Amino acid sequence: VRTLRIEKTTSKEPVDFEPWIERDLVHTEGQLQNEEIMTRDGHATYLRFMIISAFDHFASVHSVSAEGLAVSNLS
């Protein structure tokens, strides 16, 4: 992955996403990339991860994890 964009929404359904974070990743020839993105500036009910560009013709994501605090229940 060359450029990764993360979008977020606070809607009860996964709609109306807005850009949140866009990051250029370091090219690690022959090795898996491992990127930790920390932020404290946002509330979200859904996240969307988009691969904008890549260093090669194919890209794969092996795992994604997100941590945060629940601030309210969806009802």
Question: What digits encode the pLDDT tens for the residues 27-36?
Answer: 998 899 999 9
Q: What is the pLDDT of residue 73?
A: 63
Q: pTM of whole model > 0.75? A: yes
List pLDDT tens digits, range 41-59: 778 999 999 999 999 998 8
Q: In the structure encoding, which two tokens stand for residue 57, read together?
A: 């013709």
Structure tokens at 33: 């990339």
Contacts (Cβ under 8 Å, ≥6 apart) of 11: 45, 46
In the chain, domain spans: 3-53
Amino acid at 64: V
DSSP 57: S
Decide which of 3.40.190.10, 3.30.450.40, 2.60.120.260, 3.20.20.150 is the CATH code for 3-53: 2.60.120.260
Cα angle vertex 22, ends 16, 26, to 5°?
Answer: 150
